[in-house]
Homo-oligomer: A and B are copies of this chain.
Amino acid sequence: MALRRRKNKAPPLDGECPLMACMKLLGGAWTPNIVWYLSAGPRRFSELRHDIPGVSSKVLSARLKELVEKGVVSREVRPTSPPSVEYALTEIGAQLVPVIDAIVAVGKRLKEEKARASSRSRQAPDRLVLAED
């Protein structure tokens, strides 16, 4: 007990495993984007591919598969003339949206801070944009 340092030790992280699982999920490349672009409604493969610039079909397919497996996204094949597949967020998937939102918010703040800091050391960089480190 001697150690006063232990005063405010955080609880054991409500459950590390869930954290890991969920982080592994949206840790995957493009995953947050996929969820985000599904947040406005169902979307087809090609649409997503077009929505998200720079994602390869391989990765998109892989992420989608994972998401479906984990129960975050639903997949519906529609037997139309040209075969089409609709992906949509499940209820659980929808819970991810505010999370992503929050992450983006923090990301923005991080950027602003950094810009503020670099503008302080230099003079007024009227043209010098923050060269991403």
Give A contacts to B, CB under 8 Å. 5, 7-10, 13-23, 25-27, 32-33, 36-41, 43-44, 47, 51, 70-72, 92, 95-96, 98-111, 113-114, 117, 132-133
Contact B104 A92 (CB under 8 A): no
Contact status of A17 and B133, CB under 8 A, knowing A47-B5, A99-B99, A102-B99: yes
A109 CB → nearest B CB, Å: 5
Contact B8 A71 (CB under 8 A): no
List chain B residues, Cβ under 8 A from A104. Answer: 13-15, 18-19, 22
A81 CB → nearest B CB, Å: 15
Contact B96 A18 (CB under 8 A): no
Contact status of A13 and B27, CB under 8 A, knowing A102-B98, A107-B18, A114-B71: no
